Amino acid sequence: MINFNANYGKILEILQQIESKMNFLNQIRKPRLSDIELIAIDLTSEYMGIDSEYQLFRILPDKLSLRIERSVYNRRRRKLFYFKEQLRKRIVFQISSSRDYFIVDSMPLEVCKLSRSRRGGICRETFETSPDKGYCATQRMYYYGYKLHAICTIDGVFSDFDLTKASVHDIHYLEDFKQNHYDCTILGDKGYLSVNYQLDLFEENNIKLEVPMRNNQHGYAKQYIVFRKARKRIETLFSQLCDQFMIRRNYAKSFNGFKTRIHSKIMALTLIQLINKLNNRNINNIKTYIA
């Protein structure tokens, strides 16, 4: 509990430095626990590896747990998704001002085992947001769930991300990326190899897509070693999400709950990077004491 209090206080302090507003939702009655405090609780639990709400409310200090019920906490956390994303983007802007080079990649997010996919009802509220079957080439396996597409800066800060069905090809995410980016270079793996997309990105937004060529491809040329080393940065971020933030665990039953959990884990990682920067430490040293 002592560690939770200290970590919560530090995270709340950083959030209040970024955002002076305490409440974002239009509620008739002023809540006893403000929205910014609720977000701080959420991020603290993710940082400390508490991915169960039941366990969270067991160790939550009385000064916080008596101000909100567990069911209300869950509903408000999902409603705050949009405001949390706006806050996360402001955190990203404070950490990294680099807008010349980006790294793109994707990772599988399984919601249940493939053998249970036909009878399972997880996240199946609507067809548009329901999971499906996909293939992960790096792990050489079929899985049932979603795919996390992410873009990070060259120094290792997630700038944008999105969730799609598992069957959606990686390269389609670049259509969303080009809507908000211009005059930059994207580093990707062989899954993003497409002459048509490379030409389209360059002609419309002056975006250069750097992808390693296949060995049997006509005019094969080895990619620069500096690009190959830089691209590993996003793979390390994915590993940190899987290790410390346990992003592959899924306790959600609805898609809103699922996307909220994923967003909280990415935002918690980003906030730790900001705290490291303010303390003049390596921003990617995620396993560190913040308070």
- C-alpha 129/C-alpha 273 separation (Å) is 31
The total domain count for the chain is: 2
Helices (H), the chain: 2-18, 35-47, 53-59, 62-65, 70-79, 81-95, 173-177, 195-205, 225-243, 255-278
Residue 225 included in any domain: yes
pLDDT tens per residue, range 94-121: 998 777 889 999 999 999 888 888 888 8
pTM over 0.85: yes
Residues 70 and 201 in one domain: no
pLDDT class for 36, splitting at 50, 70, 90?
Answer: very high
Q: Cα(189)–Cα(213) distance, rounded to whole angstroms? A: 9
Residue 2 pLDDT level (bands cut at 50, 70, 90) = low
Buried b (16+ CB within 10 A) or exposed e, 256-272: bbbbbbbbbbbbbbbbb
Cα separation of 226 and 228, whole Å?
A: 6
> Do 124 and 237 reside in the same domain of the chain?
yes
147 neighbors 164 (Cβ within 8 angstroms): yes
SS3 247: coil
Residue 8: the pLDDT is 95
**Class of residue 229 by CB neighbours under 10 A (exposed 0-12, middle 13-18, buried 19+):** exposed
CB 130 within 8 A of CB 164: no
**DSSP secondary-structure letter at 107?**
E
| CB of 101 closer than 8 Å to CB of 231 | no
pLDDT tens-digit series, residues 259-282: 999 999 999 999 999 999 999 999
pLDDT at residue number 172: 87
DSSP designation for 154: T
One domain, residues 224 and 114: yes
Query: Which residues, in sequence order, are CB contacts of 285 under 8 Å at separation 6+?
Result: 276
- 115 and 52 housed in the same domain: no
**Within a domain: residue 222?**
yes
Residue 271 lies in a domain: no
The per-residue pLDDT for range 62-97, each reduced to its tens digit, is 889 889 999 999 999 999 999 999 999 999 999 987
* Mean pLDDT, residues 220-241 taken together: 84
Residues in the chain: 291
Q: What's the domain range around 141?
A: 98-247
Confidence (pLDDT) at 181: 81
> How distant is the alpha carbon of residue 255 from its chain centre?
15
At 113, which CATH number? 3.30.420
- pLDDT of 1: 47
Do 40 and 135 reside in the same domain of the chain? no
